């Protein structure tokens, strides 16, 4: 998220909101362009939103499964980046290690988009910000709370919020907080925007929040910890009690897939305040705007 200035984030979001409101018409700004999509982790939203989005913009997307590209095994990441740069106009990578995205960006001669890594999930946060803008009309001064694991989504939310002047509190069980390095980076970025970044172990920190956000308790690759985490995170969920502590007009967000009954109560997810499916749709619009910003 910190690769973008505040102005660039708003430029991308303005484009995304325009495309969602006005549609795509007959203009094909990425006609003749090709997107390579590298997947180490499977995904419904990431694959379909990027592939559909590229089609709407007139371009073409190629899905590269883990069996097609064994990053760092059959070929070095450097060679993969250099070869793909001879064929395609943009590379998107959904991977485990963040170092893979960094290496792709270091060696590629075309733009590289982080579709998700264990460290950050910036495409999701662009869609989240678009959704908040649509519901609240602004980002600056909005008070958001993320409830759950201090994971890649929490990291990008803190860093992105710091960039745009939004207040962000990450609420986790003890021992599951975001790393001190990420919190420090977010606070450094927040110094120029007035954003307030905080980490808490107290679910009551959601009091008066404008946005409530959660994610799965065990991310992909943490399946062995799922049972233990279910006990640890039991009180860290969005349910009727949590929602009652927030502002009555609070927006409910979840980046999906959801485990109903765990991190979010099904009934709460279907309230009029919930924007989780707007969020899912906005992945496509925000990513399309990002691709136009990078390669249009």
With 0-12 / 13-18 / 19 or more C-beta atoms within 10 angstroms meaning exposed / middle / buried, residue 109 is exposed
Active-site residue among 215, 237, 254, 262? 215
Contact partners, residue 290, CB within 8 Å, separation at least 6: 12, 113, 123, 126
- The answer to whether 26 is a known catalytic residue is no
What DSSP string runs through 229-244?
Answer: HHHHTTT-SBSHHHHH
What DSSP string runs through 159-177?
Answer: HHHHHHT-EEEEE--TT-P
- The answer to whether 79 is a known catalytic residue is no
| Helix intervals (H) in 122-239 | 122-136, 152-164, 180-190, 226-232
With 0-12 / 13-18 / 19 or more C-beta atoms within 10 angstroms meaning exposed / middle / buried, residue 231 is exposed
Question: How far is 189 from 166, CA to CA, in rounded Å?
Answer: 11
Active-site residue among 40, 124, 279, 287? 124
Per the structure block, which two tokens stand in for 20?
């969602």
Cβ–Cβ < 8 Å for 45, 98: no
- The answer to whether 40 is a known catalytic residue is no
Active-site residue among 121, 163, 167, 229? 121
Active-site residue among 20, 45, 47, 94? 94
Contact partners, residue 164, CB within 8 Å, separation at least 6: 6, 9, 10, 129, 139, 140, 193, 195
Active-site residue among 47, 237, 255, 279? 255
Active-site residue among 45, 163, 229, 283? 283
- The answer to whether 94 is a known catalytic residue is yes
- Residues classed as catalytic: 94, 121, 124, 215, 255, 283
């Amino acid at each position: 998220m910190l690769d973008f200035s505040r102005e660039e984030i708003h430029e991308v979001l303005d484009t995304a909101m325009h495309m969602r409101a006005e549609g795509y018409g007959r203009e094909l700004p990425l006609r003749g362009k090709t997107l390579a999509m590298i997947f180490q982790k499977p995904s419904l939203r990431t694959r379909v939103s990027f592939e559909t989005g590229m089609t709407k913009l007139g371009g073409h997307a190629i899905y590269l499964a883990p069996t097609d590209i064994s990053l760092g095994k059959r070929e070095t990441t450097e060679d993969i980046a250099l070869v793909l740069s001879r064929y395609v106009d943009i590379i998107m990578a959904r991977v485990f290690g963040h170092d893979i995205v960094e290496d792709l960006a270091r060696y590629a001669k075309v733009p590289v988009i982080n579709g998700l890594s264990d460290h950050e999930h910036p495409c999701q946060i662009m869609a989240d910000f678009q959704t908040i803008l649509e519901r609240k009309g602004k980002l600056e001064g909005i008070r958001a709370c993320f409830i759950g694991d201090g994971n890649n989504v929490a990291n990008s939310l803190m860093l992105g919020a710091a960039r745009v002047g939004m207040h962000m509190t990450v609420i986790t069980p003890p021992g599951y907080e975001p790393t001190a390095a990420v919190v420090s980076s977010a606070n450094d970025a927040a110094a120029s925007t007035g954003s307030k970044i905080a980490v808490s172990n107290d679910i009551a920190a959601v009091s008066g929040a404008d946005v409530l956000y959660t994610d799965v308790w065990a991310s992909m690759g943490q399946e062995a910890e799922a049972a233990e985490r279910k006990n640890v995170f039991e009180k860290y969920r969005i349910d009727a009690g949590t929602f009652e502590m927030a502002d009555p007009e609070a927006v409910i967000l979840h980046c999906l897939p959801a485990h109903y009954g765990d991190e979010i109560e099904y009934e709460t997810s279907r309230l009029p305040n919930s924007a989780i499916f707007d969020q899912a749709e906005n992945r496509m619009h925000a990513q399309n705007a990002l691709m136009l910003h990078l390669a249009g």
